[in-house]
Every structure is written in structure tokens, then in C-alpha cells.
């Protein structure tokens, strides 16, 4: 794939972040999400690919834009066919409350390379590059933490595990506390938490727990680009979720199977881009200064080269027709 697609994807997440940034703290998560979806969909119209959304906002009857199966991109027959995974706002509840770590994310790979995951729960364990090969989703929590500590040359008491603050994780939390490792809790935002394991300056060493399967695929794209490691397993928690798995072709055997990075995001050329909407551990949020200037902070990665770029951008509203339209529509809400 053309390496310039990396910057094209950043423009997509930037546009979603710009459209939704004005909703921070206004208590309107649906309004914020709608603005981000519209911005992202409009920006995709400028990207020279023939894309199909495999992870999106839901089925056609549930989502007017960026639904699963929707074709995106402005590409001709000569352009490459690609899979697209999107989360226009990761953390809609967070942005409604004005809380940190809200991001807009996109992953892209060649056609057939991103898992079309059902909208169900998924058990996950994620670590950064230095602990690659040291995790086993079937091993006890204590064994995994010890192995990661050894790989990182850390005392167990210095290992930090990030876990979503949910009742379903009470046993994991209890085991880690008894072991003596550190725990960092988060409310929403599976993707941001998973990516944090691959950046040493976050202080996060591993992620454990059960989160969304679609978010797992997007996270896998970033983890693969950064050389980390990830193991997952679908974990439907209701009859409805089991039926979703069956409807998407997952048999009981496939549901129980361990999924590795190459099962979630295969191929040698995977892209990932994210833009901060509110300030977070990895990215700064959208900053408005003056009537015509907005600043964004993004990260873009490519697995083929292992390149990770942070992009600071200043946007002139009067120079970009898409952004100008979105600001006029949502800027005074």
C-alpha cells in the first residue's frame, strides 16, 4: 500500500475529532458521536482506496453511516481494496462528561486482513514489545504477571496492570493485589488502554480483562504496528451475543479458539491512526484558539516499516471545506 495513506488516515481521525470536540462536557454523547461519524465519513471520501467497513457503527439498519459493509473511499478500480475498522469516538460517555482519554481511531489493512468481529465481549491480554512471547491467555493471572515482570526485569511490585473498572474483573483484581503488583483502573476506552502497554512512558506494562471484540481488532492493529503482543478469545456473555457470533459465521469451536495478533490483523501492511479529542495519556485533545484556528494531536503507525509518527496540526477553518462545513453545523451547538 502507498505509504502516503498514513497521512490520509490521520486526516480522517482529525476530522472526526474536530467535528466532535465542541461537544466536550455537554452531556450529549449521541450528538458528539453523530458529529464524529459524519466528519469521518466525509473525510474518507477523499482517501484513494476502495474500502469496506468491517468494524463500524453497527449494521445498516442501525447506522446511517460507517455501517458494517459500507464502501468508503474515492478510489478507482486501480486503487487497492482494503478493510477499514473505525471508532469515530472511543469514549462517548467520557466526552459527554468532559473526561480524559477520548480518541478517534481508524485501522486499515488489505482486504480480508482485519477480523470481522461480532459485537460481543472478548477476553484480552496485551503487552508491549519487551514482553512479547511471555503471555498465555490460558495461564493463571499470577503466572502471566510473573512472566511479564521477568521479561521487563522488574520486581512484581513495580509491574502495572491496567484493568477496566467493572464488576466482572473482581477475581483478576483480587489475584493481582494478592500477588503485590500495581493496578491502574480505567472507566471506558479499551483501545487507548491497550495501546498504552506499548508506550513505556505511560507506565503501563500489561492489560488484562474482558472488553469489546470490535475494539479488540482495532487495538490489535496498533499493537502489531508497535511490535507488542496480544492474545484474545471471544467471550459472549448472553444468548444474544452468542447468536451474533453464529450469525457472523463463528462456530462453538471458533468461539473458544485463542486469537493471536495475526488472527485479528494479519498481513504485513497494517495502518493505525488516532487523534485526541480530550487530553489523555498519549494524545492531547482538540484545542480551539481564535475564531479560525484549531490544533490537533495525532499518532499514525504502519506495521510494514514499524514507523510511529506523532502529528501536531493547526487547522484553518476557512481553508478546508469539510471542516468549515462541520464547524458551521456543530460549532454553535
Report the CATH number at residue 157.
3.40.190.90
57 assigned ligand-binding residue: yes
Q: Are residues 260 and 273 in the same domain?
A: no
What confidence score (pLDDT) does residue 9 get?
A: 95
What confidence score (pLDDT) does residue 326 get?
A: 81
Q: Are residues 12 and 61 in the same domain?
A: yes
180 assigned ligand-binding residue: no
Task: Give the residue from 244, 264, 284 where a domain finishes.
Answer: 264
Element spanning 88, H or E:
strand 81-90
Task: Give the residue from 264, 292, 323 where a domain finishes.
Answer: 264
285 assigned ligand-binding residue: no
Q: How far is CA 107 from CA 2, 238, 250, 303, in A?
A: 15, 28, 22, 11
Per residue of the chain (333 residues), what is the pLDDT tens digit?
A: 777 889 999 999 999 999 999 899 999 999 999 999 999 999 999 999 999 999 998 876 677 899 999 999 987 888 889 999 999 999 999 999 999 999 999 999 999 999 999 999 999 999 999 999 999 999 999 999 999 999 999 999 999 999 999 999 999 999 999 999 999 999 988 999 999 999 988 999 999 999 999 999 999 999 999 999 999 999 999 999 999 999 989 999 999 999 999 999 999 899 999 999 999 988 999 997 677 889 999 999 999 999 999 999 999 888 878 888 887 777 654
What confidence score (pLDDT) does residue 22 get?
A: 87
Q: Are residues 140 and 85 in the same domain?
A: no
- One DSSP character per residue, 45-84 reads TTS-SEEEEEESSS-TTT-SSS-TT-EES---TTSPEEEE
Q: Are residues 209 and 312 in the same domain?
A: no
87 assigned ligand-binding residue: yes
33 assigned ligand-binding residue: yes
Task: Give the residue from 235, 264, 293 where a domain finishes.
Answer: 264
Q: Are residues 231 and 284 in the same domain?
A: no
91 assigned ligand-binding residue: yes
167 assigned ligand-binding residue: yes
- Residue 156's domain comprises 121-264
What confidence score (pLDDT) does residue 333 get?
A: 45
Contacts of 320 (CB under 8 A, 6+ apart): none
249 assigned ligand-binding residue: no
DSSP state of 116: -
Q: Are residues 131 and 92 in the same domain?
A: no
328 assigned ligand-binding residue: no
Number of domains in the chain: 2
DSSP state of 120: S
Q: Are residues 36 and 146 in the same domain?
A: no
Q: Are residues 275 and 240 in the same domain?
A: no
pTM for the predicted model, two decimal places: 0.94
Decide: 72 and 84 in contact? Cβ < 8 Å: yes
168 assigned ligand-binding residue: yes
Q: Are residues 260 and 129 in the same domain?
A: yes
Q: Are residues 244 and 132 in the same domain?
A: yes
Contacts of 159 (CB under 8 A, 6+ apart): 145, 148, 149, 152, 181, 182, 205, 206
Q: Are residues 260 and 135 in the same domain?
A: yes
Name 308's bridge partners. Answer: 301
Q: Are residues 83 and 217 in the same domain?
A: no
Which is nearest to 169 in space by CA: 136, 135, 208?
208
Tell me how long the chain is.
333
The domain that holds 52 is classified in CATH as 3.30.540.10
189 assigned ligand-binding residue: yes
76 assigned ligand-binding residue: no
165 assigned ligand-binding residue: no
Amino acid at each position: 500500500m502507498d505509504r502516503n495513506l498514513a497521512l490520509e488516515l490521520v486526516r480522517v481521525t482529525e476530522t472526526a475529532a474536530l467535528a466532535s470536540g465542541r461537544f466536550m462536557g455537554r452531556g450529549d454523547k449521541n450528538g458528539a458521536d453523530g458529529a464524529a461519524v459524519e466528519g469521518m465519513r466525509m473525510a474518507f471520501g477523499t482517501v484513494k482506496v476502495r474500502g469496506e467497513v468491517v468494524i463500524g457503527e453497527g449494521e445498516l439498519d442501525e447506522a446511517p453511516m460507517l455501517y458494517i459493509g459500507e464502501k468508503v473511499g474515492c478510489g478507482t478500480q486501480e486503487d487497492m481494496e482494503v478493510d477499514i475498522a473505525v471508532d469515530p469516538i472511543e469514549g462517548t460517555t467520557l466526552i459527554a462528561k468532559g473526561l480524559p482519554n477520548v480518541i478517534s481511531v481508524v485501522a486499515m489493512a488489505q482486504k480480508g486482513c482485519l477480523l470481522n468481529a461480532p459485537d460481543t465481549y472478548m477476553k484480552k491480554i496485551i503487552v508491549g514489545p519487551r514482553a512479547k512471547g511471555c503471555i498465555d491467555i490460558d495461564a493463571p493471572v499470577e503466572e502471566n504477571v510473573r512472566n511479564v515482570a521477568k521479561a521487563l526485569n522488574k520486581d512484581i511490585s513495580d509491574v502495572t496492570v491496567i484493568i477496566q473498572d467493572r464488576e466482572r474483573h473482581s477475581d483478576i483484581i483480587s489475584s493481582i493485589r494478592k500477588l503485590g503488583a500495581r493496578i491502574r483502573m480505567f472507566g471506558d476506552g479499551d483501545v487507548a488502554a491497550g495501546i498504552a502497554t506499548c508506550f513505556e512512558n505511560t507506565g503501563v506494562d500489561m492489560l488484562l480483562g474482558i472488553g469489546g471484540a470490535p475494539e479488540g481488532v482495532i487495538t490489535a492493529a496498533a499493537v502489531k504496528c508497535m511490535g507488542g503482543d496480544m492474545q484474545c478469545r471471544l467471550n459472549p456473555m448472553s444468548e444474544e451475543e452468542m447468536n451474533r457470533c453464529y450469525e457472523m459465521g463463528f462456530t462453538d469451536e471458533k468461539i473458544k479458539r485463542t486469537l493471536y495478533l495475526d488472527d485479528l490483523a494479519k498481513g504485513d501492511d497494517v495502518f493505525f491512526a488516532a487523534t485526541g479529542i480530550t487530553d489523555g495519556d498519549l494524545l492531547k485533545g482538540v484545542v480551539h484558539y481564535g475564531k479560525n484556528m484549531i490544533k490537533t494531536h495525532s499518532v499514525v503507525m504502519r506495521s510494514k516499516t514499524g514507523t510511529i509518527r506523532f502529528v501536531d496540526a493547526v487547522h484553518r477553518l476557512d481553508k478546508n471545506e469539510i471542516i468549515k462545513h462541520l464547524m458551521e453545523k456543530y460549532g454553535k451547538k
